[in-house]
Amino acid sequence: MRLATTHPDWGLGYADEGWWSRLAQPQLHTWTAAQPLRLVAKAAPKPDPEPQALACDGLLRADTQQSWLRFVAGRPLSALTPQFLPWSCRPLQRQGKRALRVVWDTAAWHRRREVRQGVRAHNPAAKRTGGIRLVLCPLPVKSPWLNRIEPPWVHGKKASVEPQRKLTAAEVMARVHTYYGCKQLPLLSPEVA
């Protein structure tokens, strides 16, 4: 991480996946004179066609503290991470960067064959075309506090809460994008890059 800051043509980002629940409520702390404020989990009606939680890939840039998000259609798959990482390179390429150092934890889906193969396929193509190389930097096991995207995830969940009613999936995504100042983009899916 320190080495990346000495190279102006390298980008450094902290990546992770997050879940945004429509039903579960995050822990909130309040000052009250009487009973403490408690948010209770909402129940989904039986014929609710929308998912109970939404998966999201995110990258926090170390230099600008800007977050880039892409929500996932359905459950996150290791096949979608190789789509998210090259997508994250596009804005950096416009800024003249040559490499993106991705710091993330050692979750099972980060170590999957699909992710490794996706990065191995991306880097030679990026070298040929003048694109951005990806360098994956796994964190030590059981050290989530080193991933700087974790605190913004927690704050974003607290900021997007709705105590009065259950939000729709579109409302959850809109609130998350508004909180992080991101443009809402199409969902990542196995068919769409």
From first to last of its 193 residues, the chain has per-residue pLDDT tens of 778 778 889 999 999 988 888 877 666 666 666 666 666 666 666 777 888 889 899 999 999 999 999 998 877 666 788 889 999 999 999 999 999 999 998 887 788 888 889 999 999 999 999 999 999 999 988 787 889 999 999 889 888 888 778 888 999 999 999 999 999 999 988 765 4
The values of phi and psi at residue 189, to 5°, are: -145, 165
Instruction: Say if CB 169 and CB 34 are below 8 A apart.
Output: no
Nearest-CA neighbor of 19 among 67, 69, 62? 69
CATH class of 2-21+52-180: alpha beta
Among 141, 151, 150, residue whose Cα is nearest residue 105: 141
Which helix (H) or strand (E) covers residue 138, if one does?
Answer: strand 133-138
